[in-house]
């Protein structure tokens, strides 16, 4: 049986967030010719020679600053991470390796690639999602049981 936690069910805010993400991705590609994939944006800052740093830094400041700004207006984000720092770091490292092999991350493939009709992005996003579903199933139902 599917149960919805109505205390945390926020379809209006979720829709607004999705619209903002979509508009931001569209603006970036229309005015800058760039895909809004976080791994590519951050990777461009870490690689040498560093080109077009201004928009990359501005994008990352917005990414980090938006939840801070929302919290100032009384909309705190709740994060209940049930993992140790070591587990989070290992998971982040594995995600980084995966994005390298996939040629991008879920934001680039899932938001921008699929909207452009990229079959490669569709396959990558389905693979990301399947791996996430499998990980949750194994950790919550097989290992955690």
Mean pLDDT by 10 residues, the chain (145 residues): 77 89 90 88 83 88 88 79 89 85 85 90 91 88 75
73 DSSP assignment: T
pTM metric for this prediction:
0.73
When divided into structural domains, the chain yields a total of 1
Q: 109 vs 16, 24, 141, CA distance in Å? A: 21, 15, 29
Residue 67 located in a structural domain? yes
Q: What is the pLDDT of residue 102?
A: 82
Residue 3 located in a structural domain? no
Residue 5 located in a structural domain? no
Tokens 């950790």 found at: 139
Residue 104 located in a structural domain? yes
Domain range spanning residue 33?
11-143
Distance between start and end Cα atoms, the chain: 19
Residue 136 located in a structural domain? yes
25 CB contacts (<8 Å, ≥6 apart)? 35, 36, 111, 112, 115
Q: What is the pLDDT of residue 144?
A: 64
Tokens 């705190």 found at: 76
Q: What is the largest CA-CA distance in the chain?
A: 53
Distance, CA of 77 to CA of 71 (rounded, Å): 7
Residue 108 located in a structural domain? yes
């Amino acid at each position: 049986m599917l149960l919805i936690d109505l205390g945390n069910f926020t379809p209006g805010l979720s829709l607004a967030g999705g619209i903002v993400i979509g508009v931001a991705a569209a603006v970036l590609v229309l005015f800058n010719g760039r895909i809004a994939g976080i791994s590519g944006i951050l990777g461009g800052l870490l690689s040498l020679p560093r080109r077009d740093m201004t928009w990359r830094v501005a994008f990352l400041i917005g990414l980090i600053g938006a939840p801070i700004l929302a919290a100032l207006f009384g909309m705190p984000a709740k994060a209940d991470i049930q993992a140790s720092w070591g587990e989070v770091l290992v998971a982040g490292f594995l995600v980084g390796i995966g994005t390298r092999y996939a040629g991008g991350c879920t934001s680039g493939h899932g938001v921008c690639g699929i909207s452009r009709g990229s079959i490669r992005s569709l396959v990558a996003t389905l693979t990301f999602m399947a791996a996430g579903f499998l990980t949750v199933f194994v950790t919550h139902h097989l290992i955690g049981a």
